[in-house]
Amino acid sequence: MLAGGLAAAPREILLIAGPPSHTRLAHEQNAAAVLYARFLNEVPGIHATVSRSGWPADENLIAKADAIWVFCDGGEKHLIARENHTGQMQAAAGRGAGMMFYHYGVEPPDKSLHKEFLDWTGGLFELRYSVNPIFEADFASLPKHPITRGVTPFKLKDEWYYNIRFREDRKSITEILVATPPASSLSRPDGPHEGNPDVRSKVGQPQCMMWAYQRPDAGRSA
């Protein structure tokens, strides 16, 4: 409550889902956004809004968002790059809005937005460096962090991104989900997403698959 008994305005979370692109039950971007919004809107003091199948036409939704979540195809199809929304995201970061790029949304185009992604979220999926195999990851322990509150260690078979390109100093980055991928996760020939000499040299080493980043501008990202 604010002085005088007035209720504080709810925190505005904007969930942006890219248009459907994969087969049914794979990369269900709209469904994920709608589901997360439903859960978020059950939390007192939170108001979540969904932009389905593309960037919101109402620029005010970006301007007033306290946090922005993006789940879309990556690479050259990334919503931010394809529709040139870099300025809007930069302005949001500048005023301290939280940011989360989800799954494929963590991959910028091959030749652009790398610096911006590193500035916004601290890490990115880099072609010919990072990989995206499907395997069962065993997250045997979790750090003490607001993100992990109420979460216990778990195993899950999914498409896991690893060998992420992080900011060089790793300053203010907290590794949230860490597991050791099996050697079989690199069974595919080398390719832009499949494997490369660098990641093959790290077989048997723990890999970070989810992280949090405390930005210098006081914004938080994941």
| Domain regions of the chain by residue span | 8-121, 134-214
52-61 tens-digit pLDDT = 999 999 999 9
Sequence letter at residue 98: G
DSSP annotation of 19 reads P
Backbone angles phi, psi at 118, to 5 degrees: -65, -40
What is the structure's pLDDT at 7? 65
User: Radius of gyration over alpha carbons of the chain, in Å?
Assistant: 18
pTM of the model: 0.93
Angle at 85 between CA 82 and CA 89, to 5 degrees: 135
Share of the chain above pLDDT 90, in %: 89
Give residue-wise pLDDT tens across range 74-115: 999 999 999 899 999 999 999 999 999 999 999 999 999 999
The pLDDT, as a whole number, for residue 175 is 98
Burial class (CB in 10 A: 0-12, 13-18, 19+), 74: buried
pLDDT band at 134 (very low <50, low <70, confident <90, very high): very high
Can you tell me the distance from the alpha carbon of 10 to that of 169, in angstroms, rounded to the nearest whole number? 35
Q: What is the mean pLDDT of residues 190-214?
A: 98
Predicted pLDDT of residue 25: 72
One-letter identity of residue 82: R
- Rounded distance, CA 147 to CA 222, Å? 9
**Predicted confidence (pLDDT) at residue 2 exceeds the cutoff of 70:** no
Question: Residue 3 pLDDT more than 60?
Answer: no
- Give the residue from 68, 73, 163, 69 showing the smallest Cα distance to 109: 73
Is residue 11 exposed (0-12), middle (13-18) or buried (19+ Cβ within 10 Å)?
Answer: middle
Q: What confidence category does residue 4 fall into, taking pLDDT thresholds of 50, 70 and 90? A: low
Across 122-145, b (16+ Cβ under 10 Å) vs e yields: bbbbbbbebbbbebebebeebeee
pLDDT reported for residue 167: 96
Q: Which CATH superfamily is domain 8-121 in?
A: Class I glutamine amidotransferase (GATase) domain (3.40.50.880)
Average pLDDT score over the chain:
95
Q: Does the pLDDT of residue 1 top 50, yes or no?
A: no
pLDDT in tens, 137-166: 999 999 999 999 999 999 999 999 999 999
Which H or E element spans position 134?
strand 134-139
> Which pLDDT tens digit goes with each residue over 171-186?
899 999 999 999 999 9
